Amino acid sequence: MSVHVAETFELLFDKNNTAAYKALQELQKESENTNSVYLYMDRLSDMLDSDNSYIRTRGLVFCTS
Protein backbone atom coordinates (compact mmCIF):
# COMPACT_ATOMS: atom_id res chain seq x y z
CA MET A 1 0.00 0.00 0.00
CA SER A 2 2.90 2.37 0.67
CA VAL A 3 3.83 2.58 -3.03
CA HIS A 4 0.25 3.48 -3.89
CA VAL A 5 0.23 6.15 -1.19
CA ALA A 6 3.56 7.55 -2.40
CA GLU A 7 2.33 7.79 -5.99
CA THR A 8 -0.98 9.28 -4.93
CA PHE A 9 0.74 11.78 -2.65
CA GLU A 10 2.87 13.00 -5.55
CA LEU A 11 -0.33 13.70 -7.50
CA LEU A 12 -1.16 16.37 -4.93
CA PHE A 13 1.56 18.45 -6.62
CA ASP A 14 0.10 17.93 -10.11
CA LYS A 15 -0.83 20.98 -12.18
CA ASN A 16 -3.99 19.13 -13.23
CA ASN A 17 -6.38 20.23 -10.48
CA THR A 18 -8.83 17.42 -11.23
CA ALA A 19 -6.15 14.75 -10.77
CA ALA A 20 -4.83 16.47 -7.64
CA TYR A 21 -8.30 16.71 -6.09
CA LYS A 22 -8.98 13.04 -6.81
CA ALA A 23 -5.66 12.16 -5.16
CA LEU A 24 -6.60 14.27 -2.14
CA GLN A 25 -9.90 12.41 -1.79
CA GLU A 26 -8.15 9.03 -2.07
CA LEU A 27 -5.60 9.97 0.58
CA GLN A 28 -8.31 11.24 2.90
CA LYS A 29 -10.07 7.87 2.63
CA GLU A 30 -6.80 6.01 3.12
CA SER A 31 -6.00 8.01 6.24
CA GLU A 32 -9.39 7.12 7.71
CA ASN A 33 -8.60 3.41 7.33
CA THR A 34 -4.85 3.13 7.92
CA ASN A 35 -1.92 5.14 9.20
CA SER A 36 0.17 4.71 6.03
CA VAL A 37 -0.35 8.33 4.99
CA TYR A 38 1.40 9.62 8.10
CA LEU A 39 4.73 8.46 6.72
CA TYR A 40 4.47 11.43 4.36
CA MET A 41 3.98 14.18 6.94
CA ASP A 42 7.26 15.82 5.90
CA ARG A 43 5.91 16.20 2.35
CA LEU A 44 2.68 17.58 3.79
CA SER A 45 4.73 20.15 5.66
CA ASP A 46 6.44 21.06 2.39
CA MET A 47 3.03 21.60 0.83
CA LEU A 48 2.11 24.17 3.47
CA ASP A 49 5.26 26.14 2.59
CA SER A 50 4.73 25.96 -1.18
CA ASP A 51 4.74 29.10 -3.32
CA ASN A 52 1.76 27.63 -5.19
CA SER A 53 -1.51 28.54 -3.48
CA TYR A 54 -3.28 25.46 -4.86
CA ILE A 55 -0.70 23.15 -3.31
CA ARG A 56 -0.88 25.03 0.01
CA THR A 57 -4.67 24.69 -0.02
CA ARG A 58 -4.50 20.95 -0.71
CA GLY A 59 -2.09 20.55 2.19
CA LEU A 60 -4.30 22.56 4.51
CA VAL A 61 -7.43 20.66 3.49
CA PHE A 62 -5.67 17.37 4.10
CA CYS A 63 -4.44 18.53 7.53
CA THR A 64 -7.92 19.50 8.60
CA SER A 65 -9.65 16.35 7.38
pLDDT of the residue at 2: 56
pLDDT of the residue at 29: 92
Report pTM. Answer: 0.83
pLDDT of the residue at 3: 58
Residue 7 belongs to domain spanning: 2-64
pLDDT of the residue at 17: 94
| CA pair distance 42, 17, nearest whole angstrom | 22
9-53 confidence digits (pLDDT tens): 999 999 999 999 999 999 999 999 888 888 888 998 999 999 999
Q: How many domains in the chain?
A: 1
pLDDT of the residue at 38: 87
What residues contact residue 14 under an 8 Å CB cut-off, 6+ apart? 20, 23
